[in-house]
Structure 1
Amino acid sequence: MLPFVLFPSMGEYPVYNDAVYDGLAAPDARSRAYDAALRAAAPGRVVLDVGTGRDALWAVAAARAGARHVYAIEAAPAAAAAARAAVDLSGFSRQITVLEGWASHQVLPVRAEVCVSEIVGNIASSEGAIPILNDCRQRLCTPGCVWIPFRARTMIAAVDVGTPSLDPSCRLLMDRVIAAAGGASGLRLCLGGPAWSALVSSPAVVESDVFDSRVLPPISDMSVEVELVAGKATGLLLWTRVAVASSGREVDTLDGGTRAWAPVYLPAPLAGRVRVGFSRRTSDDGVHPDYLLTVDGVTVWRSPHHVSSSSRTP
Structure 2
Amino acid sequence: MYNIKKIETHGRSLRVRVDPEPEREGRPALWPSVGEYPIYDPFLYTTMTTDDERNERFRAALSQLAPDRNILDIGTGQDLLWAREGVQAGAQHALAIEVIEDAFHKAAANLSAFYPQDQITLLLGESTNLQFAPRADVCVAEIIGSLAGAEGAAAVLTDARNRHLKPGGLVVPHRAVTLAAAVRLSDLLPEQPVAFAEASLPYLRSIFDWHGMPFDVRLRVENPSAGALLSEGAPVEVLDFNGDLRTEQRRTTRLAITRPGHMDGVLTWLNLWCLPDEEPLDALHMKTNWATIYLPLFESPVPVAAGDVLELTFAATLSDDGIHPDYQLSAALHTADGREHHGALASPHHGGSFRAYSIYQRLFPTS
Q: CA deviation at 1:193?
A: 2.2
Q: Which stretch of the first structure deviates more once superposed, 176-185 or 106-115?
A: 176-185
Match of residue 94, structure 1, among 112, 118, 128: 118
| Residue 295 (structure 1) aligned to one of 313, 331, 334 | 331
Say if 2:137 and 2:170, in contact at 8 Å, map to a contact too.
yes
- Look up the SS of the partner of 2:106 in the other structure: helix
Among 152, 163, 170, the residue aligned to 1:139: 163
Answering whether residue 309 of structure 2 is matched by residue 273 of structure 1, we say: yes
1:304 to 2:339 alignment? no
Q: Deviations over 1:280-308 (max 9, x none)?
A: 11011111110111111844321111117
Question: Which residue of structure 1 lines up, in the alignment, with residue 103 of structure 2?
Answer: 79
2:238 counterpart SS class? strand
Residue 223 of structure 2 contacts residue 291 of structure 2 at CA under 8 Å; is this kept in 1?
Answer: no
User: What secondary structure, in the 3-state scheme, does the structure 1 residue paired with 2:62 have?
Assistant: helix
In structure 2, what is the Cα distance between the partners aligned to 1:236 and 1:198? 11
**Sequence identity percentage:** 34
The 3 A distance-change label for structure 1 pair 77 and 285 is same
Which of 265, 278, 282 aligns to 2:318? It is: 282
Q: 5+ unaligned residues in a row in structure 1: which ranges?
A: none
The 1:313–1:33 alpha-carbon spacing in structure 2 relative to 1, beyond 3 Å, is closer
Shifted more, 17-26 versus 227-236: the winner is 227-236
State the TM-score, normalizing by the size of structure 2: 0.79
Contact residue 284 and residue 292 of structure 2 kept, 8 A: yes
- Quote the Cα distance in structure 1 between the aligned partners of 2:295 and 2:156: 27
8 Å CA contact retained: 1:47, 1:114:
yes
Corresponding residue of 2:209: 179
Q: Note if contact 1:290-1:304 (Cα within 8 Å) is conserved in structure 2.
A: yes
Is 2:249 the partner of 1:219? no
Find out whether 1:50 has 2:110 as its counterpart: no
The answer (yes or no) to whether the contact 1:251–1:257 under 8 Å persists in 2 is no
SS at match of 2:68: coil
Q: Which residue of 2 aligns with 1:118?
A: 142
**C-alpha spacing 1:276/1:68, structure 2 compared with 1 (3 Å):** same
* Number of equivalences: 307
Counterpart of 1:305 in structure 2: which amino acid? H
Q: Secondary structure at the match of 1:59?
A: helix
The alignment status of 1:228 with 2:228, answered yes or no, reads: no
What SS does structure 1 have at the residue aligned with 2:61?
A: helix
Bigger-Rg structure (1/2): 2
Q: Where in structure 2 are there 5+ consecutive unaligned residues?
A: 1-25, 187-192, 333-340, 357-367
1:24-35 matches, within 5 Å, as 24-35=48-59
Asked if the contact 1:182/1:306 (under 8 Å) is kept, the reply is no
Q: What amino acid is the match of 2:39?
A: V
1:164 equivalent in structure 2: 194
Q: TM-score, normalised by structure 1?
A: 0.91
CA shift at 1:251, angstroms? 0.8
Partner of residue 240, structure 1: 270
CA shift, 1:234, in A, is 4.1
Aligned 8 A contact 1:50 1:74 in 2: yes
**Conserved in 2, the CA contact under 8 Å of 1:183 and 1:306?**
no
